[in-house]
Amino acid sequence: MGDAKESHEERTAHEPREAALHSVVLSKITLVGGLVRILRLRIPDGRPDIQFLPGQWVDTFCPGIAKAGGFTITSAPSKATAASSERYLELAIKKSPENPAAAWLWQDVQTILGETLQIRIGGSFVFPPPKAPASFLQDRSARVVFVAGGVGVNPLISMASYLGEINRASDDANEPGGAGPEVVFLYSVRAEEKRPENGGDGDDEDNEVKRIPFLQRLATLFSNESIRGQLKVFLTGSSGSEDVLSGNEEDVPCLRRRITTADLDVAVLGGVSGSNSRSLDNVFVYVCGVPTMTDVFVEHLTGKEGPGLSAHQVLCEKWW
């Protein structure tokens, strides 16, 4: 998020948000690729748990910055409760010098590490889908399609992590992905040639998967069958058609092109097994990215030329 003409709070004034502020401590900073910092915000001892839904963001008040920045929570809700050994929220901050809050959070690591920030939970782009049947999270015939463009992956990784936890906790331990819905995750991200220095704790330069924000986490969710379905990576800004990104634990196939509406049709209509007989009543699609992507995809998904999903089945958040 972040816009030179309109602040985060102004742009999201219509969105629901908590009245209460929470104090958190900036306890860890990790660089991913060259332009994204992953921040861990620790909840101090003695403070209550912070409750939120996967996909929500926080108004982030940084010392000396007049207006709050808006950053999506990328961790699962369980990490901010007593169920976690260290209670925290995680944020992913893209390097954006024109965004005062992001610029503050991209200062030298030793300057800001240990600082206390004030945050407030908000947002309506959430998982599970608000209008899904009550049985959605336990329905193996259901499907959720996540479509991420660049940093649009941020709310979707929280959702996928949450779903993986739900599936692992399922009583149906003999089934891959638990008893939950099938997942197709389409992730488009731009290839980076080099990374700047002084970004935080570094990542493995030789691990292509780790250089793409949250790709290692997604690959693990699918490879260990916490989630049942398919992960499809689209690498833009590079030449070629198909490739494999190398990682420490698993390699990830990728297509070197943009996501197309045809890819959406396959994700919504076709099963991993290739079946096209699926009912669309229990299919939900989450689209998050820049307006030039989201507007086209939402129109296609709900239009006559596409799958013809109902408006409540296609949830969208635009990143400016």
The reported pLDDT for the residue numbered 2 is 41
Unique residue bearing structure tokens 């045809």: 262
Q: State the architecture of 136-318 in CATH terms.
A: 3-Layer(aba) Sandwich (3.40)
> Which range (91-95, 109-113, 158-162, 169-173) has the least confidence?
169-173
Rounded alpha-carbon distances, angstroms, from residue 76 to 49, 73, 91, 108, 236: 13, 8, 11, 27, 28
Phi then psi dihedrals of residue 68, to 5 deg: -70, 145
Specify the DSSP class assigned to residue 311: G
Top-confidence range, 6-10, 130-134, 188-192, 198-202: 130-134
CATH code of the domain made up of 8-122: 2.40.30.10
Beta bridge partners of 183: 144, 229
For the stretch 137-150, pLDDT in tens is 999 999 999 999 99
Beta bridge partners of 61: 118
The reported pLDDT for the residue numbered 209 is 85
Rounded alpha-carbon distances, angstroms, from residue 110 to 199, 203, 228, 275: 11, 18, 41, 53
CA dihedral 53, 57, 62, 65 (to 10 degrees): -150
Unique residue bearing structure tokens 């948000």: 17
**239 or 302, which is more confident?**
302
Q: What is the pTM of this model?
A: 0.91
The reported pLDDT for the residue numbered 3 is 42
Q: List, in order, residues 6 or more apart from 23 with CB less than 8 Å away.
A: 44, 47, 116, 117, 118
Phi then psi dihedrals of residue 174, to 5 deg: -85, -5
Give yes or no for residue 275 having a pLDDT over 80: no
For the stretch 183-214, pLDDT in tens is 999 999 987 654 444 455 555 555 778 889 99
CB atoms within 10 A of CB 228: 19
What mean pLDDT is reported for the chain? Answer: 89
The first and second tokens of residue 227, run together, are: 């989630």
The reported pLDDT for the residue numbered 252 is 87
**CB-CB contact of 34 with 192 (8 Å):** yes
For residue 116, name the pLDDT band (cuts at 50, 70, 90): very high
Strands 57-61, 116-122: pairing is antiparallel
Instruction: Tell me the domain boundaries of the chain.
Output: 8-122, 136-318
Give yes or no for residue 264 having a pLDDT over 80: yes
For residue 171, name the pLDDT band (cuts at 50, 70, 90): low
Give yes or no for residue 273 having a pLDDT over 50: no
3-state secondary structure 4-69: CCCCHHHHCCCCCECCCCEEEEEEEEEEECCCEEEEEEECCCCCCCCCCCCCCEEEEECCCCCCCE
Q: Say how far apart CA 318 and CA 32 lie, in whole Å.
A: 22
> Which range (26-30, 168-172, 280-284) has the least confidence?
168-172
Specify the DSSP class assigned to residue 178: T
> Which range (38-52, 86-100, 188-202) has the least confidence?
188-202
